[in-house]
Structure 1
Amino acid sequence: MDSQCKDLNFKISKKIPIKIYIGYGLGHILNDVCSAMWFSYLLVYFHLVLGFDNGQAGILLLVGQVADAIATPFVGYNSDKDRDWWIYKFGKRKVWYLIGTICVIFTFPFIFSPCISCQNATKLGQMFYYSGFIIIFQFGWASVQIAHMALIPELTSNQHQRTKLAAIRNGATVAANVLVYLVTWGILHISGSSNNKIGPEHLEKFQHIVWSIMSFGVCCSGVFYMLIKEPEVKKNANSNTCLDSHITISMKKLFMNYNLYLIGSVYMSSRLFINLTQVFISLYLTESLDMVASALAIVPLAMYIASFVASFPVGPITKLIGRKITYIIGTVFGLVGCIWIHVGHGHDYKTFFIFGVAVLLGTASTIVLVSSLDITTDLIGSKTNRGAFIYGIMSFADKLSNGIAVEVIQDIHKDEKVEFYRDVLSYVCGGALILGTLSVILVNNRTEEKEKSLSKEGLKSVNTIS
């Protein structure tokens, strides 16, 4: 067995050092805290604080989602390329991670700030102003996201370790969301406005929230960059004698694989459920249930605490019963939560039972997200030369569908019907889970079986994997 085969065998069997798990988990925190603000409070901020109407606020979110959708396959394609640029010595994933981090740091604070030198301009003029920062921010966010996800199949070839990395990533995401809601609740509470409705007087409070969470996120990104060393890609001249950990797959073969579209539907549906829940839970609490400002932090906080707790058993459960069954279990939790939202009403519901709904939605979010990431990683398998591009395709469908869905929902909401956001959470989010479940049932699991065989036997030929 030559040295490259020995290296691969070691990569399959070795345990990942704890510092890799820690560093990887911290690597997406900056993106996560910005995402929590983006999905939970962007519409609230622009509509209730800055005075944009529902349609205008929805358009700004759509601009961001379209920019993100376009950026993800672009970043993925270029991140997969091997270049001779001197900066690539730091790692082709980490280069894009660094570029994205810089874009996020220098644009996101301006989104949650008053329009500089244009506060008296028309809303249309202000929309152009904010759109510029939003587009650059979303490009940076996409660069970090794709580079971070693409590292999973490169850090290890062991499927259970990949699941653990995905679960840690999700746990860190949930912890970041919890941090955002704790900071939000703390600033609103300290300001003495926790029992008031959100309004223009909260503009400065939102700025304090953004600067607080971003400071923590930047520190986490620095730790990631120091702890994670991107594995060196070694070209294998004799690919028929052992398994090359970077098997090449053509674009034609990739797009002819029908699993790509099914798994894309699974990932898109999962993100639709998670993001639409995050976007509209605040508006549901404010407009449908008429709850006070502090509820916009406390209820989502309960949801993400439940999501964080659920991230611990999801790995062992997946190992025991498989990805598909685990995903279906997550769907059941989510559908029960959606039904409860539809039938829930009254003082007891707003005081106590709304937290039961939050637990169900949070648990479902973790299960379906980790499962969908696992299924996507299975599609990549050992063909990591297209890893970032595949993640980019998945994210393209996710971001575009989310942006269109939010804009359509906001555009439809012309009247003052209090049940509107209740119905959105019940029917749209529930429908996304059903679509994801139907797709995951149809996914061919041959990739997963081959990867399990690879982990057991250590080495397989390139022809077997291809």
Structure 2
Amino acid sequence: MGTSKHLSYTQKLCFGVGHAFNHMCLTSWYTYLLLYLQFVIQLPPSIAGIVLLTGLIANGLATPLTGYFTDRFKPCWNYGKRKTIHLIFSLASLITFPLIFVKFPGFNTLGYWSLLAYFLPLVIIWGISNAAVHVAHLSMIPELSPDQLDRDEITIFRYIFDVAADISLYIISWIILSAGVAAGTDEAVGSDDSWKFSYIVAIVTGMGAVMIAIFHLGTPEEIEQEQGSNSIEEDTAQDSNTARNSEGSLFSVNMNWSDWFREKHFFFIGLLLVLARMYFNLNQTFIPLFLQEGIKAEEEILAVIPLTLQVSGLIASCLVRLLLKVVNKKVGYMIATCFAYAGCIWLGYDSQEALQSGNVYILTVLIGIGSSLMLVLSVSLTSDLIGTNTESGAFVFGAITFVEKTLNGLFIVIVQTGHTFCEDCPTYYREVIAHGISAIAILSLAVVLKLNPHTVGTRYSEMNTVQGRKESVARKSSKSYGSMRKGFPILERPTISS
């Protein structure tokens, strides 16, 4: 269960910084891994793709599994289970991630299979570590405080630090990758540039070590007491682990991973978070490709547009708290989808000349605002969904993340496969954004319209309430003392006096 007091401002900041290194690693992975493997290590695109895909598969499969085991993990020392998982796998990331971007002497003489034997174990370990840190950090949100405003604030701080980490990464990369390139030239990245990637990753790793230390020193986590059996009878007797729902007549009880599939809000809010992440990640993937193929953007624009996307998202996330003072989360999410849809449609139907003259910056701001608000509000709603059932909160975030990564991968594979049949189509990625990614915003709007934010956290399945489980126990007890026959009621349990 969460702590009984409000978090201090310092504790919220310390928690927010706890995922920044993990996020910087993931951004570096998507942005630079293929570039590094193909042009620095000089692997064929197919082999480089195998390395990238292996890491994503490991990450996707590890997400729900680490969520399941994190909920059941019992540390051997006097330290919180979420922070223990976070620390162990953060250390694994600090070791493995820099090794992925280090070109050791003799790499040029190794065959492809030897290089695969080096990279695949590293990306598998890093993929699992990234998933474990992500789930452990997210699942702490509903545990840190029972106060909904506290949860909303730490969710916002988490996103702010993630975006700030992305901005820092882009600035560091821009400075280092441009070093040593003569003015007026357009020199491609080559095998001699391995030191640049090593410097980038070394700086990121150093920053990450500091962030991890701040998180563990400044973030509290209540240490769970040893509990006994999780039988239905004992669950119904644990008043300290129950919480009154919005209807006031039922009480929630301890839930394991399978219990969530009985709750309709698990699917509604889970879908909202999946769609929000898909919208954010797919725009990050395809906007640079659109700039390069669609409007033949200059190299400077290719660097500035991602920064514009992140900065606009950062500003929007800082304003979420003010927005929620005026409207509820449902209306806020609806506003976010309007920004998201407007940005994609504008990009699809504006003229190339207008986009080149500066409109691309305006629509990027709209996309950044929409994606940021969708992400922050969907994570906040997921924390509200978990409520007091923090004993299985990691599974909730893990399962949602697994679905999101799977759908993201399928979307990208379908789009890239389709491009092979239309190689001379300069508007291909524009159509993908205008019709494919904008459809995600419309679907998000349709889902949130069906959501009643006042009932989020309510348990509708009788097996997830104290009253329902008591009735289930009573039915089982009565059936064990008699059977229903025509004209004869079920025999009651005999009393002591009888």
Q: Per the shorter chain, which TM-score range?
A: 0.7 to 0.9
Structure 1 residues 449 and 132, CA, compared in 2 at 3 Å: closer, same or farther?
closer
Contact conserved, 1:76 with 1:390, CA < 8 A, in 2? yes
Give the counterpart of 2:433 among 422, 425, 442. Answer: 425
Checking the alignment, whether the CA contact within 8 Å between 2:12 and 2:219 is kept in structure 1 is: no
The letter of the residue matching 1:222 is: A
Equivalent-residue separation in structure 2 for 1:410 and 1:59 (angstroms): 15
**CA displacement, residues 335-382 of structure 1 (integer Å, 9 cap, x when unaligned):** 111122223454552352222122112111210001110121122111
Structure 1 Cα separation of the partners of residues 468 and 323 of structure 2: 29
2:330 and 2:453 in contact (8 A); partners too: no
Superposed CA offset, 1:201-260 (max 9, x none): 654433322222222122111111111121123579895655547941134422122322
- The answer to whether structure 1 residue 148 and structure 2 residue 137 are counterparts is yes
Q: Which of the numbers 54, 71, 76 marks the counterpart of 1:80?
A: 71
Q: Which residue of 2 aligns with 1:458?
A: none
Return the match for 1:281 from 287, 301, 311: 287
Instruction: Give the match's secondary structure for 1:96.
Output: helix
Cα distance between partner residues in 2 of 1:320 and 1:374: 16
Q: Is the 8 A contact 1:379 1:447 kept in 2?
A: no
Distance 1:343 1:57 in 2: 35
Q: Relative to 1, partners in 2 of residues 1:216 and 1:122: Cα closer, same or farther, differing over 3 Å? A: same
The counterpart of 1:438, out of the listed 442, 446, 454, is 446
Q: Deviations over 1:165-192 (max 9, x none)?
A: 1111011111011111111222234433
2:90 pairs, out of 101, 109, 128, with 101
Does 1:209 pair with 2:217?
A: no
1:119/1:322 Cα in 2 relative to 1: closer, same or farther (>3 Å)? farther
1:292 and 1:114 map into 2 onto residues whose CA distance is: 30
Q: Does the CA contact (< 8 Å) of 2:257 and 2:395 recur in 1? A: no
1:282-361 to structure 2, matched below 5 A, reads: 282-346=288-352, 349-361=355-367
Whether 1:132 aligns to 2:121 is: yes
Q: Deviations over 1:298-325 (max 9, x none)?
A: 2111111111111111123134322222
Question: Which residue number corresponds to residue 189 of structure 2?
Answer: 199
Once the two structures are TM-superposed, the CA of residue 140 in structure 1 deviates from its matched residue by 0.6
Give the C-alpha shift of residue 417 in structure 1. Answer: 3.3
Measured after TM superposition, the shift of residue 126 of structure 1 is 4.3
Alignment equivalent of 2:146, drawn from 146, 157, 168 = 157
Letter in 1 for 2:130: W
Mapped contact 2:68–2:257 kept (Cα < 8 A): no
Q: 1:99 touches 1:143 (CA, 8 Å); kept in 2?
A: no
The alpha-carbon distance between structure 1 residues 214 and 421, as it changes in their structure 2 partners (threshold 3 A), is farther
Higher mean C-alpha deviation, range 92-101 or range 106-115? 106-115
Whichever residue aligns with residue 150 of structure 1, its letter is S
Instruction: Give the Cα–Cα distance (whole angstroms) in 2 for the partners of residues 241 and 123 of structure 1.
Output: 60
1:37/1:234 CA distance change after superposition, 3 Å: same
Letter in 2 for 1:312: C
Give the conservation status (yes or no) of the 8 Å contact 1:72–1:143.
yes
Tell me how far apart the structure 2 counterparts of residues 82 and 272 of structure 1 sit (CA, whole Å): 30
CA deviation profile, 1:398-422 (whole Å, cap 9, x unmatched): 1222223223333333225333332
RMSD: 3.1
Q: Distance in 2 between matches of 1:216 and 1:18?
A: 22
Whole-Å Cα distance in 2 between the matches of residues 303 and 312 of structure 1?
A: 15
Match of 1:231 in 2: 222
**2:329, 2:377 within 8 Å by CA — same for their partners in 1?**
yes
Specify the alignment match of 1:3 in structure 2: none
Cα distance, 1:54–1:288 mapped onto 2, change above 3 Å: farther
Q: Structure 2: how far apart are the matches of 1:142 and 1:256?
A: 25
CA contact (8 A) 1:333 1:364 kept: yes
How has the CA–CA distance of structure 1 residues 312 and 279 changed in structure 2, closer, same or farther, with 3 Å as cutoff? Answer: same
AA in 2 matched with 1:280 = F
> In the alignment, what sits opposite 1:399?
405
1:334–1:360 Cα contact (<8 Å) kept: yes
- Determine if contact 2:167/2:311 at 8 Å carries over to the other structure: yes
Partner of 1:34: 25
Q: Whole-Å Cα distance in 2 between the matches of residues 120 and 252 of structure 1?
A: 51
Q: Report what 1:454 is aligned to.
A: none
Shift of 1:268: 1.3
Q: Displacement of 1:163 after TM fit?
A: 0.8
Distance of 1:406 and 1:60 partners within structure 2: 16
- 1:376-415 map, 5 Å: 376-414=382-420, 415=423
Q: Quick one: distance in 1 between partners of 2:468 and 2:326?
A: 26
Cα pair 1:289 1:350 within 8 Å, conserved:
yes
Between the aligned partners of 1:348 and 1:98, the Cα distance in structure 2 is: 49
- Work out the CA distance in 2 between the residues paired with 1:193 and 1:45: 21
Structure 1: 5+ residue runs without aligned partners? 1-6, 452-460
The answer for the alignment partner of 2:13 in structure 1 is 22
Change (3 A) 1:73 1:332: same
CA spacing shift, 1:344–1:124, aligned 2, 3 Å: farther
Change (3 A) 1:424 1:44: farther
- Superposed CA offset, 1:109-161 (max 9, x none): 23334487444556576456433322111111111111111111111011111
Three-state SS of the structure 2 residue aligned to 1:16 is coil
The 8 Å contact of residues 29 and 172 in structure 1, kept in 2 or not, is answered as yes
How far apart are residue 105 of structure 1 and its match?
A: 1.3
Distance change >3 Å, CA 357–CA 62, structure 1 → 2: farther
Find out whether 1:366 has 2:372 as its counterpart.
yes
Which gives a bigger RCO, structure 1 or 2 (Cα 8 Å, sep 6+)?
1
Give the alignment of 1:256-267 within 5 angstroms: 256-267=262-273
Whose radius of gyration is greater, 1 or 2? 2
Q: TM-score, normalised by structure 1?
A: 0.85
Percent identical across equivalent pairs? 28
Task: Return closer, same or farther for 1:251/1:148 CA change in 2, 3 Å cut-off.
Answer: closer
For the 8 Å contact 1:54–1:410, the answer to whether it is kept is: no
Describe the SS at the equivalent of 1:86: coil
Q: Which amino acid aligns with 2:450?
A: L
The number of aligned residues is 446
Q: Which stretch shows the higher mean deviation, 128-137 or 395-404? A: 128-137
